[in-house]
Amino acid sequence: MSGKQKVSGKKGDVVTLNPRSTSHTRLSVESVELASVLGGWLVRGSLTLLSGEPGIGKSTLTLQLAQWCASENTPVLYVSGEEGEEQIAGRAHRLGVSNPNIHFFHGEILEDIIATLQSAPHPIVIIDSVSVLYSESQGGSSGGMAQIRSIAETFMHFAKNTNTAVILIGHVTKDGDLAGPKTLEHLVDTVLFLEGDRYQSYRVLRAMKNRFWPTDAIGLFEMWENGLLDLKNPAESILKTSAQIGSALTIALEWNRPVIMEIEALTHSTRFPYPKRSARGISTQKIELLLAATAKFGRINLDSDDIYVNVSHGLSVGEPAVDLAIVAALLSSDQKKPLNHALFLGEISLTGVIKPVAQLEKRIEEAKKLGFKTIHIPATQSKFQSTKGVSIVTHESLASLVQWIKSL
């Protein structure tokens, strides 16, 4: 019996790979922040998923993207299954989006949309949103697992076969899951996540996956009436209001980018048997752990107080390097002492020890650029005490931080 197995199929063409041949397939993006996330370009022949909570600004961002690309004489087709032409046109008018290269199509049936795209080719296609589309060739309800997967696969094949940049908009639940199966993220080339507090102005765009560029960058935007604008100096508004009691400043690393953040805390004694614990932008579990460590090793017991912690401007943070700032804000509120624009960097262990933080030098350099004069860091990283232009205060444990704040 022969070792070769017969297979059926159509023979394809094998070509020499030219690394420079893709340069003409990329589309420039005007926004500096968006470009930093995408690597400077929107790649043709790719499928991108833009997800986020309802009302966070996904449709706004894609309409602005359509305007930027259309201004470079690149036709864009905006396909909406949720809103009609009048609604999209009204939003476009508010955002100042107006270009004859931007076209619109309203449709919910996948087969109708594909037929339209084939008859009227566009280099960029925006689908708003994937969860409301329905494929007549696939069973199940709209937004179900079978439907979402079939639709994503269809658009992936379409993008590759026609060299079209396709952007799918997807909603997420309050738990952060995509409205539909999370397996959709594995079917696309790029996954972008737009987050923030819809009642605040700041927005953060993250690349959770990107086959064409590293995912070590974020984009910072501010929502205005005329759309999402690049946030050029996020520290400006934060530093204006950060000298109050209960406010502590820190620098978090969002992917590889240092971002200044303000932690606000309010402690208030209560007569009720079960004090409240509320946090926005920070895990409540983290607050509970830090309170327990502060009580045992800092000798400051806040068990009978209501505790409220917030990351200002609707931002969120999860990295341990902000632990010291959280406790500093809590102590500032409890002791009724402002922290005078000091910066706090350090992780707090369950033994009350201040542990070192990653890329401390990068954070300190950013702090110096922003004009900070006092920076609190772990004692284990005391080699940075000789940093010129700033006063470095080291802490070995929570007890040291408590003593410093009481001395103010």
Residue 137 is encoded by which pair of tokens? Answer: 């060739």
Query: 92-118 in b/e burial notation, b at 16+ Cβ within 10 A?
Result: beebebebebbbbbbbeebeebbeebe
Q: Which of 33-37, 98-102, 239-243, 261-265 has the lowest mean pLDDT?
A: 239-243
Residue 91 is encoded by which pair of tokens? Answer: 């939003």
Residue 98 identity: S
Question: What confidence category does residue 177 fall into, taking pLDDT thresholds of 50, 70 and 90?
Answer: low
Tell which wins on pLDDT, 217 or 191.
191
Q: Hey, what long-range contacts does 136-143 have (CB within 8 A, 24 or more apart)?
A: 136/109, 136/110, 136/111, 137/110, 137/111, 142/108, 143/179, 143/180
Cα separations in angstroms, 93 against 45, 68, 98? 30, 15, 7
Mean pLDDT for the stretch of residues 290-314 = 95
For Cα atoms 164, 166, 170, give the angle at the middle one, nearest 5 degrees. 175
Neighbour tally for 33: CB within 10 Å: 22
Mean pLDDT for the stretch of residues 40-45 = 89
Predicted confidence at residue 347, as pLDDT, reads: 98
CA-nearest of 50, 125, 123, 62 to 88 is 62
Cα separations in angstroms, 114 against 66, 143, 156, 158? 19, 18, 12, 8
Distance CA 38, CA 70 (A): 18
Predicted confidence at residue 78, as pLDDT, reads: 97
Mean pLDDT for the stretch of residues 205-232 = 91
Question: What confidence category does residue 175 fall into, taking pLDDT thresholds of 50, 70 and 90?
Answer: low
Mean pLDDT for the stretch of residues 194-213 = 91
Domains within the chain, CATH numbers bracketed: 23-232 (3.40.50.300), 235-406 (3.30.230.10)
Mean pLDDT for the stretch of residues 223-237 = 87
Of all residues in the chain, what percent carry a pLDDT higher than 90?
Answer: 69
Give the rounded distance of the alpha carbon of 40 from its chain centre: 17
Question: What confidence category does residue 23 fall into, taking pLDDT thresholds of 50, 70 and 90?
Answer: very low
Tell which wins on pLDDT, 356 or 385.
356
Question: What confidence category does residue 183 fall into, taking pLDDT thresholds of 50, 70 and 90?
Answer: low
Distance CA 25, CA 213 (A): 15
Task: State the DSSP code for 80.
Answer: E
Distance CA 168, CA 50 (A): 6
Distance CA 193, CA 53 (A): 9
Q: Return the beta strands (E) in 25-117 as ranges.
A: 26-28, 41-43, 47-52, 76-80, 102-106
Contacts of 408 by beta carbon, 8 Å cutoff, 6+ apart:
335, 337, 338, 339, 340
Which parts of 145-272 fold into alpha helices (H)?
A: 145-162, 234-240
In the predicted model, is pLDDT for residue 82 greater than 90? no
Average pLDDT score over the chain: 89
Tell which wins on pLDDT, 112 or 53.
112
- The model's pTM is 0.84
In the predicted model, is pLDDT for residue 230 greater than 60? yes
Distance CA 362, CA 216 (A): 15
Write down the residue that tokens 């000798």 correspond to.
Answer: 299
Tell which wins on pLDDT, 283 or 242.
283
Distance CA 239, CA 340 (A): 11
Neighbour tally for 270: CB within 10 Å: 12
Q: If you write DSSP's letter for every residue of 356-390 in order, what string do you get?
A: --TTHHHHHHHHHHTT--EEEEEGGGGGGGG-TTS
Give the rounded distance of the alpha carbon of 298 from its chain centre: 34
Highest mean pLDDT out of 15-29, 69-83, 165-179: 69-83
Mean pLDDT for the stretch of residues 268-282 = 92
Is 28 within 8 Å of 172 (Cβ atoms)?
Answer: no
Give the rounded distance of the alpha carbon of 103 from its chain centre: 29
In the predicted model, is pLDDT for residue 299 greater than 60? yes
Tell whether the torsion through CA atoms of 347, 314, 227 and 215 is positive or negative.
positive
Mind listing the pLDDT tens digit for each residue in 337-384?
A: 999 889 999 999 999 999 999 999 999 999 999 889 999 999 999 999
